[in-house]
């Protein structure tokens, strides 16, 4: 049995948004930190901090963003799963909600948004991790 750490991370964020929590704590991993930083850069969250828990493990504190009581994250969906990987070319990525949202993908260069992959004219593309709007 495998554990989908990215799926768990996205579910923690999704549940916190549904419960209107001010922040969420999640276990630290390099991939989770990169996804959280992309959410910060794109304006979906207010802040991302790395800290050490009482147990000695690293964790991420993600401060969620609300505008007039409504969350900046309306939906966060895992696309590529351990059971079914989804790979796309940089030019074949479809816009999320008419361009209002983003897709996050892993490439051979780094974890990045669909817009950044298209602007870099990358011919490779990568694994489509999730969509956010």
CATH number of the structural domain spanning residue 32? 3.30.1370.30
Does 48 share its domain with 82?
Answer: no
Task: Single out the residue in 18, 44, 70 at which a domain terminates.
Answer: 70
Does 85 share its domain with 124?
Answer: yes
Does 15 share its domain with 61?
Answer: yes
Does 56 share its domain with 93?
Answer: no
Does 58 share its domain with 100?
Answer: no
* pLDDT number for residue 53: 87
**Residue 100 to residues 23, 42, 73, 82, 97, Cα–Cα distance (Å):** 23, 11, 11, 27, 6
Q: Which tens digits make up the pLDDT trace of 88-130? A: 987 788 888 888 899 999 988 899 998 888 887 656 688 999 9
Q: Which tens digits make up the pLDDT trace of 50-97? A: 999 889 999 999 999 999 999 999 999 999 999 999 999 877 888 888
Does 81 share its domain with 118?
Answer: yes
* pLDDT number for residue 122: 59
Report how many domains make up the chain: 2
CATH number of the domain within which 91 lies: 3.30.1490.10
Question: pTM higher than 0.75 for the full model?
Answer: yes
Cα diameter, the chain: 45
Q: Which tens digits make up the pLDDT trace of 16-41? A: 999 999 999 999 999 999 999 999 99
Pairing between β-strand 126-132 and β-strand 76-78 as defined by DSSP bridges: antiparallel
Domain carrying residue 13: 5-70
* pLDDT number for residue 41: 97
Does 46 share its domain with 82?
Answer: no
Residue 1 pLDDT greater than 50, yes or no: no
């Amino acid at each position: 049995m495998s554990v989908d750490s990215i799926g768990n991370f996205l579910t923690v964020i999704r549940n916190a948004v549904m419960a209107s929590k001010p922040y969420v704590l999640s276990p630290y991993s390099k991939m989770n930190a990169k996804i959280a930083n992309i959410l910060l850069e794109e304006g979906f969250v207010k802040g991302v901090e790395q800290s050490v828990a009482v147990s000695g493990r690293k964790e991420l504190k993600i401060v969620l963003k609300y505008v007039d009581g409504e969350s900046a994250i309306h939906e966060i969906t895992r696309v590529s799963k351990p059971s079914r990987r989804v790979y796309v070319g940089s030019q074949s990525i479809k816009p999320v909600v008419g361009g209002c949202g983003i897709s996050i993908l892993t490439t051979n260069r780094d974890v990045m948004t669909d817009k950044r992959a298209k602007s870099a004219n990358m011919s490779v593309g990568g694994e489509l991790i999730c969509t956010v709007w």
